[in-house]
Structure 1
Amino acid sequence: MTSAHGKALFLWSVVAICVVVLSAPTVVVLGASFTAGNIITFPPQGLSLRWYEAILGAAGLRQAFLRSLYVATICVMIALPVGTLAGIALSRYRIRFEKTIQIYLLLPFTIPLIGSGIGLMLIFGEMRLLGQLWPIGIAVCVINLPFMIWPVVASVNALDIDIENAAANCGAPPVQTFLMVTLPAVMPGVITGSLLMFILALNEFLVSLLLVDARIVTLPVQIYNSIRSIITPDLAAISVVFIAVAALAIVLLDRLVGLDIFLRSK
């Protein structure tokens, strides 16, 4: 009993330390965003919403945020059909170069993002597309597409193939079976992957930095350019907005399909 109690105490201690370490930066940024002073301090110098009012009135930050939304939308629009069909194909069919594709699905964890970013910069440079926003959406989709494919694969693996066979036996053609049976069944994975792709694209910094110029920067690049001179509390406020958007997406994911879909995809 003593040994079991000691193991439980150790595990909970490790969990508590991990929670504190992971949440500490968010707590500091959150507190600093409500400061009444003119510089970032923690604990804050009084409490005020002045810096949230400041970012609402900052045209540059607002335009940069809209650009980030545009990039994220392009990314999701491409990832939806490509990732969904790829996930179904990988789960149901024997395809050529399957092992090569499986290796590609590990690229976000094995290849440094700077390497992928430079490669894409050279490709788009040869195509004379640098300085435009929509290629950023394509680039972010290419790099993060595995995060769309994994949840779809998990949903397909949980689908009973007899349901599709029953539809086919009732006379449904393959396209109708896919649209009326397969796609609704894997929709939890599609929703999960879409939300993940949206969050990743909205927060993408390095690829955006390499592919745009100073005229059309996204919000992460705008924040980076600002902190190179001085870090002001309005940057903490906009960071809290980013955190809130990501948290809202996670809540929607849990409410709509459950986080277990994403966890099973690993």
Structure 2
Amino acid sequence: MSGNRGKTIVLWIFVIFGLVMLSAPTLVVLGASFTSGNIITFPPDGFSLKWYAKIAGASDLRGAFLRSLVVASICTVIAVPAGTLAGIALSKYAVRMEKTIQVYLLLPFTIPLIGSGIGLMLVLGNAGMLGQLWPVGLACCVINLPFMIWAVTASASGLDPDLELAAANLGAPPLQTFLHVTLPAVTPGIITGALLMFILALNEFLVSLLLVDARIVTLPVQIYNSIRSIITPDLAAISVVFIACAAAAIFLLDRLVGLDIFLKSK
């Protein structure tokens, strides 16, 4: 009994240590954003909301944040139909070049992001499409699309094929079967993938840095440009806004499909 108790204590020590290490940066940034001083300190030097008021009144930060929202929206709009159809096809049919597609799905983990970013910059630059926001959203979609496909595939793999056969036997045409049987069954995966794509594109820095110019700077690039000179508490406040957006997405995901379905799709 004492041996099992010792294993439990050691396990909890590792769990607590991991939680502290994961949450410590967030807590430091959160505390620093409320400091009343003029430099980032933790514990904060007093309590003040002036840095949030500063970023709310900064037109350049508002513009950069709105551009990031546009990029994330474009990425999601492109990824939802493309990832949904690809995920359903991979889970239900024998697709040609399936091994090649499986390799593509591993690209986010095998190819350095800087390599993908430079390649996209060259392709989009030769096509004369740089200097606009929509190519940035397209590039974010190309790089992160495997996450959308994985989410949809996880939902589609649980679809009972007898349901589609029953609909066909009752005289439903293929399109009607897809819209009323297949699509509702994979909706949790679509929602999960869409939220993932939106958050990933919203936070994308390296690809945005390579594809934007001074006229269309996104918020991560704007933050990077700011910290090259001096790190002030308003940057911590911006970071808290990003954390709040991610937390809102997780809450929405939990309310719509449940975190258990999200974790199964990973």
Does TM, normalized by the shorter one, top 0.5? yes
Matched, 1:3 2:3: yes
Contact persistence 1:151–1:261 (CA under 8 A): no
Instruction: Say how many residue pairs are matched.
Output: 266
1:140: how far off?
Answer: 0.4
2:112 maps to a residue whose letter is P
Q: What SS does the aligned partner of 1:253 have?
A: helix
1:156 maps to a residue whose letter is A
Q: What do the CA deviations read for 1:176-218 (whole angstroms, capped 9, x no partner)?
A: 0000111011100000000000000000000000001112100
What is the distance in 1 between the residues matched to 2:11 and 2:78?
Answer: 42
What is the distance in 1 between the residues matched to 2:221 and 2:255?
Answer: 32
Matches within 5 A, 1:41-80: 41-80=41-80
What is the distance in 2 between the residues matched to 1:151 and 1:144?
Answer: 12
Q: What SS does the aligned partner of 2:94 have?
A: coil
RMSD: 0.8
1:263: how far off?
Answer: 1.8
Matched, 1:248 2:242: no
Q: What do the CA deviations read for 1:9-38 (whole angstroms, capped 9, x no partner)?
A: 121111111110011000000000000011
Q: What do the CA deviations read for 1:122-144 (whole angstroms, capped 9, x no partner)?
A: 10110111121110100000000
What is the distance in 1 between the residues matched to 2:252 and 2:203?
Answer: 18
Matches within 5 A, 1:8-23: 8-23=8-23
Q: What do the CA deviations read for 1:203-248 (whole angstroms, capped 9, x no partner)?
A: 0000000001112100000000000000111110010000000011
What is the distance in 2 between the residues matched to 1:221 and 1:174?
Answer: 46
What is the distance in 1 between the residues matched to 2:253 and 2:152?
Answer: 14
What is the distance in 1 between the residues matched to 2:185 and 2:11?
Answer: 37
Contact persistence 1:80–1:190 (CA under 8 A): yes
Matches within 5 A, 1:172-183: 172-183=172-183
Query: Where has structure 1 moved over 3 Å in runs of 4 or more?
Result: none
Question: 1:147 is matched with which residue?
Answer: 147
Identity %: 76
TM-score, with length taken from structure 1: 0.98
TM-score, with length taken from structure 2: 0.98
1:232 maps to a residue whose letter is T
What is the distance in 2 between the residues matched to 1:258 and 1:158?
Answer: 16
Unaligned ranges ≥5, structure 1 = none
1:258: how far off?
Answer: 1.2
Unaligned ranges ≥5, structure 2 = none
1:262: how far off?
Answer: 2.4
Question: 2:107 is matched with which residue?
Answer: 107
Q: What do the CA deviations read for 1:59-86 (whole angstroms, capped 9, x no partner)?
A: 0000000000000000000000000000
